[in-house]
Chains A and B, each alone.
Chain A
Amino acid sequence: MPTNELLLRGSDLSFSRGGQLLLDKVEIAIHRGEIITVIGPNGAGKTTLVRILLGLLKPSQGRVVSESGLKIGYVPQRLQMDPVLPMSVERFLKTAGRFSQQEMIRALQEVGADRVLDCPIYQVSGGELQRIMLARSILRKPDLLILDEPTQGVDLGGQAELYQLISQLRDRYHCGVLMVSHDLHLVMAASDSVLCLNQHVCCSGRPEAISQHPEYLKLIGDSVGPSLAVYSHEHDHSHDIHGNIHTLDESKEEGHG
């Protein structure tokens, strides 16, 4: 249920490093109640865009304006928890602020991970860790959730569930959601709008429209026909036994324009 309440807007965002242009005049606006997904090939600048919107990176050009007092819940691409730091899931949640045990259990229940409350955080699986990160975010009662590839290291069935969960959390907390994904087909059901990025914004709009958009089809490769594109899973990576993703060939997907 997207509303008109503007949470965060990035205007004319460009970013270059070492003479290389990574982002070119990107426009993006996120409203309360809306789920926006940024998709694009590897090296398209998705994470750079997210880092700029979070204020972790200064754009070379353009600016980011946010609603005053905006509280952001951030789920980084891949959180590495080192076993050298002894920390239970409960203690980990507390690094986000002071919460009662009840609040924490309720948050974990909402994401379906309440049984790991006492487990060491460095022992939980990739999918569980992402759920715990979501629980940690909602404990802070955010206005905006920003998720960078939230399903990395999660198997396919788990990915669909996770997207469904994100959509449920949006409904329950009535926050805005910005997420990054490399796979349009999985996020289609869960997104209100999609922004297709390859340094610049190739196209944006409702997911059904994007999946047929010529710019999008050109970007994901001409080898896949339009009818097939909706159902195919772009195998630009493989999964190892733990579900970790290994990129096979980053140069395969070439940018254009």
Chain B
Amino acid sequence: MDDFIWRALLAGLVVAMVAGPLGTFVVWRRMAYFGDSLSHSALLGIALGILTGVNTTLSLLLVCLGIAVLVVWMESRQQLSHDTLLGIFAHSSLSLGLVALSLIQGLRIDLMAYLFGDILAVTTTELYWIMAGGAAVLMALLMIWRPLLALTVNEDLAQVEGVRVDLMRLLFMLLMALVVAVSIKLVGVLLITSLLIIPAAVARQFARSPEQMALLAALAGGLAVVGGLFVSMQWDTPTGPSIVVVASLLFFLVNLGRASNSAS
């Protein structure tokens, strides 16, 4: 096999290992739409980075975090519901990003790569960044696992018992922004949320404890990456969407299996 395939495989497995456990919290805390808002705003971050000459990964992180804080702030002052607000943010930041990119003079970028990912084009340097970012997120998640789980059960209870709820919420958003930054090369801004929630949804069918669910989600994500790369090579399909398609297939197969088991 060629080098670029190994790099793609490695990058994909790292992202799956991180997105799986983090995604379980996204599913438990019902934050799928929040993930969409974050990932869609990543494009705006990239555009701003190119415009200002700042490192695009850094500007992406800053914009994601800015959007996260803005959402939380708006929620406390608005009468609109959570999902309406998030919908507005997701689509307006995506559109703003597209408009900003089109305004940059003389820029020729592969927009499709940002929207749907281009994992086969991962360079060695990018691979190192993905590994470093992934390791950082995974370690941080391990460190805040217990308090984060406590506040997922009940925020009031966690706060009375000494968990710093606001800090944990902020850290969690930071981790999500990091995962978006790390996985953008893999599946693009439009599909990142699927890497967070589909493996977790697959894992829920088998898990008996929160920790099991996190590990199984990482495993399911890994399977989707391997399967997606294989499909993409075999039939020359776009890699990012192929990974998501395989993940979805896993989800439906698992649910079909469950349904027929409980029926008999």
- The residue on B at minimum CB distance from A120 is B208
Q: Mark A84-112, 1 if CB is under 8 A from B, else 0.
A: 11111001100110000000000000000
Residue pairs across A and B with CB atoms within 8 Å: the count is: 50
B209 lies within 8 A of chain A by Cβ: yes
- The residue on A at minimum CB distance from B211 is A91
Count of A interface residues, CB-CB < 8 Å: 20
Contacts of B204 in A (CB 8 A): 84, 86
Contacts of A72 in B (CB 8 A): 160
Binds B, one of A22-30, A74-82, A170-178: A74-82
**11 A-B pairs with C-beta separation under 8 A:** A54-B156, A56-B159, A76-B157, A82-B28, A86-B209, A88-B208, A88-B209, A91-B210, A95-B149, A96-B150, A96-B161
A55 lies within 8 A of chain B by Cβ: yes
Contact B153 A92 (CB under 8 A): yes
A140 lies within 8 A of chain B by Cβ: yes
- The residue on A at minimum CB distance from B149 is A95
Taking residues whose C-beta sits less than 8 angstroms from the other chain, chain B's interface range is 20 to 34
Q: How far is the CB of B227 from chain A (nearest CB, A)?
A: 25
Give the interface of B toward A (CB within 8 A): 27-28, 146, 149-150, 152-154, 156-157, 159-161, 204, 207-210, 212-213
Q: Return the 4 tightest CB-CB contacts between A and B, nearest first.
A: A74-B160, A86-B207, A95-B150, A85-B28
Contact A86 B153 (CB under 8 A): no
Q: How far is the CB of A79 from chain B (nearest CB, A)?
A: 6
Contacts of A55 in B (CB 8 A): 159-160
Given A55-B160, A72-B160, A85:B152 Cβ within 8 A: yes
Which of A51, A76, A84 makes the CB contact (< 8 A) with B154? Answer: A76
Contacts of B146 in A (CB 8 A): 95
